[in-house]
A = this chain, B = another copy of it.
Amino acid sequence: MSIGGNRLNVGVLGASGYTGAELLRLLVTHDGVNIAALTADRRAGQPIEAVFPHLGGLGLPTLVANDEVDWSAMDVAFCCLPHGTTQEIIAALPEHLKIVDLSADFRLRDIATYAEWYGHEHRAPALQSDAVYGLTEAYRDEIARARLVAAPGCYPTGALLPLIPLLEAGQIVIDEITIDAKSGTTGAGRAAKEGMLFSEVGEGFSAYGIAGHRHMPEMEQELSVAAGQPVTIGFTPHLVPMSRGILSTIYVRLRDGASADDLRATLDARYADEPFVRVLPAGFAPATQHVRGSNHCLIGVHADRRPGRAVLVSAIDNLTKGSSGQAVQDMNIMYGLDERRGLGQAPLFP
């Protein structure tokens, strides 16, 4: 490891997509890292501003192909490649590197579940078992010891942060969890698809992937760990005409006379010292515009009108806490740095 007065040398694989851009936006403010290599196979040889004009003038390296990077002098690799293509690339990286993977490739511990939801056998099963799920607030100690961290999906991050402590506390019924989630368009990535054109998405709102979204098994895996038994959820994602943000509205049934206030107390206690999770007082509901561009997760807890039920609402920026921000937070922990480094920006509002 080359740190010690020095900066960590960081390489970003797949820097031409939105998670790559977000990672760079954060890392340029991180005084413990040196952005040493950026890859984008189809844009190799081009300056980053050809792909992301907003990143011009920052002194970033020119884009190269994935196989052109000299990893010998690197400390960390962030993988922002598409799902499915990442496994073999990561398997081929030198042993001395620590890796934060932002794809879905190493999130599912069960290889069979992976194959079921992603349509092919996993291509690096040995690495799969080494990978740590990078939900910082749940796996901080494991992350500190990990070589390979799988940064969670955006929907799972927004749902798991409010739900895990409540399942661990046994305050909610495990088979009555319904997650109604709403995401901005960057969640769909930068690939040019008709359905994601401004003309199609603007002034409209829709549900998609009902009961079949790939983030479901990832949520169920982690909720089952928290509950100590298998959890099956209801989950409906929606597309909001905005670029960033996920709001998750979560309907739960309470156990053993617990109240909404009890749930809030549990979350308050759990997250009191967390730098990026904030539980709102009774009566306040989060909004995505209040976390835009920041690594924060806001959580509100509300009584339902129906006795014995409650409504949880969480807000994150899908590109920050839901992806690249959490990846930076995890990297900081992997290297024993203050986990807030590179993440000091207040939300951008309006």
7 pairs of residues in contact across A and B, judged by CB atoms under 8 Å: A57-B278, A180-B249, A182-B238, A204-B290, A205-B287, A211-B311, A232-B306
Which residues of A in the span 153-201 have a Cβ within 8 Å of any Cβ on B?
175, 178, 180, 182, 184-186, 188, 190-194, 196-201
Pick the 5 closest A-B CB pairs, nearest first.
A204-B289, A206-B287, A54-B290, A54-B347, A199-B350
A211 to B184, CA, bound (A): 25
Residues in B whose Cβ lies below 8 Å from that of A216: 305
Q: Which of B206, B240, B278, B293 contacts A241 (CB 8 A)?
A: B240
* Interface residues of A, count at CB 8 A: 89
Q: Which of A21-29, A120-128, A129-137, A221-229 contacts B (4 or more CB under 8 A)?
A: A21-29
Residues in B whose Cβ lies below 8 Å from that of A244: 203, 350
Assembly stoichiometry (copies):
4
Residues in B whose Cβ lies below 8 Å from that of A292: 54, 203-204, 348
A174 to B18, CA, bound (A): 43
Assess the A346–B197 pair: CB atoms within 8 A.
no
Residues in B whose Cβ lies below 8 Å from that of A65: none
Q: Does A210 contact B (CB under 8 A)?
A: yes
Q: Does A337 contact B (CB under 8 A)?
A: no
Which residues of A in the span 33-54 have a Cβ within 8 Å of any Cβ on B?
52-54
Nearest opposing residue in chain B for A27, CB measure: B346
Residues in B whose Cβ lies below 8 Å from that of A85: none
Most chain B CB inside 10 Å of its own CB: which residue of A232, A243, A344 = A243
Min distance, Cβ A279 to any Cβ of chain B, angstroms: 10
Residues in B whose Cβ lies below 8 Å from that of A311: 210-211, 234, 236
A199 to B288, CA, bound (A): 13
A242 to B204, CA, bound (A): 7
A199 to B22, CA, bound (A): 13
Nearest opposing residue in chain B for A189, CB measure: B199
Which residues of A in the span 295-349 have a Cβ within 8 Å of any Cβ on B?
296, 300, 302-306, 309, 311, 313, 315, 319, 344-349
A152 to B210, CA, bound (A): 28
A290 to B53, CA, bound (A): 6
A302 to B286, CA, bound (A): 28
Which residues of A in the span 239-285 have a Cβ within 8 Å of any Cβ on B?
240-245, 247, 249, 251, 278, 284-285
Residues in B whose Cβ lies below 8 Å from that of A178: 178, 251
Min distance, Cβ A58 to any Cβ of chain B, angstroms: 6
Given that A185-B202, A192-B194, A199-B186 are known contacts, is A236 also in contact with B249, CB under 8 Å in the complex? yes
Min distance, Cβ A199 to any Cβ of chain B, angstroms: 4
Query: 15 other contacts beyond A204-B245, A204-B290, A216-B305, with CB at 8 A cut-off?
Result: A18-B350, A52-B349, A178-B251, A180-B236, A185-B198, A198-B241, A198-B243, A203-B292, A205-B289, A207-B300, A210-B313, A232-B305, A233-B305, A234-B305, A251-B251
Min distance, Cβ A114 to any Cβ of chain B, angstroms: 17
Residues in B whose Cβ lies below 8 Å from that of A207: 247, 249, 285-286, 300, 313
